Amino acid sequence: MDENDDNFQDYSIRIARSETDLIAAVKTLIDEGNRIYKDETRELPNIHFDRHLYQPLLIERGDRLISKPPGLNQEEQRFVNDLRELVRQETSKSLANKEIFLLRNLSRGKGVGFFENEGFYPDFILWIKEGIQQRMIFVEPHGMLHEKAYEISDKTTLHERLCELSKSWAKKTDLKNVSLDSYIISATPYEKLRLYYGDGTWSRGDFISKHILFPEPPEVVDYLKPLFEAS
């Protein structure tokens, strides 16, 4: 992947002509140059995360300002914020020997996709490098109430297919130090989602074993730690 990859593209911004103050503020921000790449700004709401492979990483701002590609939605924004906080907390601890990179994955025609029929494009690609070992993890913050049962959902079982693909790669090529994985970050709370799985007795541990994580309770980012534990 290099700077010519389709996932790296400029934003285009649309603002109604009547929003004169907002237009002026955004033009000033663009003219300043560096601030949008090094900080979080009010004029163009963004998340500054130095492990993301490009800046700025814009977030949605309703109808007043529309960007293409679209800004991060609420679930995507929380994931990036929580990942950033976990990296900050664990940089000198559990992540001390790991290099971490994140990339927002774009949709059909631009990003990395799976399943031609359904066209599943996970929202993020997370790289974890430790020595000669590399893991590439596809992460999808996703509401789960309308998702198919685990066993017949391409999205939830993607990690199983990627595990088999990693083994196949290792046998056929020199990519023995690269593994693929995937996780769902459920926007549907555990207490609600468990009623739809099996006979309603799935524990949080059962969901984790199936690579489904819950961002609960608020302000706690430890739920993301399984991403960094090779399965």
Kindly report, residue by residue over 164-192, the tens digit of the pLDDT.
988 887 788 877 889 999 999 999 999 99
Structure tokens at 11: 């934003």
Task: Report the share of the chain in percent with pLDDT over 90.
Answer: 57
pTM value is 0.91
In angstroms, the CA 28 to CA 153 distance is: 47
| Mean pLDDT across the chain | 89
The total of other beta-carbon atoms located within 10 Å of residue 20's CB is: 10
Closest CA to 120 of 79, 82, 153, 89: 153
77-110 pLDDT per residue, tens: 999 999 999 999 999 999 999 999 999 998 766 7
